[in-house]
Amino acid sequence: MNLSFFSKPSSAIPLAIFAVLAALPFVAIALDQSFYVAFFARILVYAIAASALNLALGYGGLVSFGHSLFLGVGGYAVGLLSFHEIDSGWIHLGVCLALCAITGLITGAISLRTTGIAFIMITLAFAQMGYFLFVSLKNYGGDDGLAIPNASRFGTFTLASAVNVYAVAFVVLILVTWWLAKLRQSPFGMTLRGAQQNARRVAAIGLPAFPYQLTAYVISGMISGIAGLLLANLNAFASPSMLAWSVSGELIVMVVLGGMGSVFGPLLGALVFLGLEEILKAFTENWMAIFGLLIVLMSLLGKKGIAGFLETLDLRVRRGSIPPSKEGEQ
């Protein structure tokens, strides 16, 4: 007997998390706890960025250590335009997507000519180039960053408040998660995942891996740019620190922790990563040492991440629901 989609822990628990996240801003506002709206808005934004990286890393096997580049480009698309008194959210979004697409196409075409460590180092180099480019823009704050006086405005709707950013980030995350779930089983997604396992074998049947990987890399960069746009509006600030290599490392940890290639892994990884960070900060100044140890232990205990652990619960629940006699017949 097969379990329904909603009765599987691997799907039921993430869906329950989405339900809690949908209700959270209403509860937080009712209790006058606006901090939680801003904090979980940040989690949603990073979950979007992790989902974007999951497309390249989890589906395509592209270990990009430079996805913070797209996050920063999205953030500065808002910051620079706002500095020049352009507050139209549609222009912000259009410029963000266009710049991230061009950046992804150029950097991806170059990086994908290599593999392994070389690919990691080249993507890291591009992110560092972007970092020092924005540091050099002294007229726009340089390494001090750039305040954003005018948030993105979509008609009468503006991203000036944490609640509005939360709402948009929540909807975007749902759409991205749903799209990635569909993509995973599509011919494009299956080809991409096949190329991750054996690119030569996929090429042998007439499906060269390069265009699929480049397309995935560009789309991944564009989604990361949207996350950067939301993060800049949430903080009302754009900074070169958004492009730091450590941000790329954090996104990779979120994807690995949640479960590479899984549908709900990025959300689970971002929630646990940022949640643990905030909890440990409240108890000790040396939280980074404890945090690093916990991440290592969690990675060793579950090589497939949190999503993989939930899938093992699926099997246990399924075995418990099948009578021994019928289990033997199957």
Cα–chain center distance at 77:
19
What are the two backbone dihedrals, phi and then psi, of residue 326, each rounded to the nearest 5 degrees?
Answer: -75, -35
Q: 141 forms bridges with which residues in the sheet?
A: none
pLDDT tops 90 at residue 46: yes
Q: With the C-alpha atoms ordered 258, 259, 261, 264, is the resulting torsion angle positive or negative?
A: negative
Residue 58: DSSP 8-state: I
* Total H helices, total E strands in the chain: 13, 4
Q: Which residues contact 3 (CB under 8 A, 6 or more apart)?
A: 314, 317, 318, 321
- Report the predicted TM-score, pTM, of the whole model to 2 decimal places: 0.92
Give the pLDDT confidence of 244-259 residue by residue, as tens digits. Answer: 999 999 999 999 999 8
Report the C-alpha gap between 43 and 166 in whole angstroms.
Answer: 9
- Among the residue ranges 16-30, 169-183, 222-236, 300-314, the one predicted with the least confidence is 300-314
**Structure confidence at residue 4 as a pLDDT band (50, 70, 90):** low
Residue 144 CA neighbour count, 13 Å, CB half: 6
Q: Which residues contact 40 (CB under 8 A, 6 or more apart)?
A: 21, 24, 25, 166
Three-state SS at 247? helix
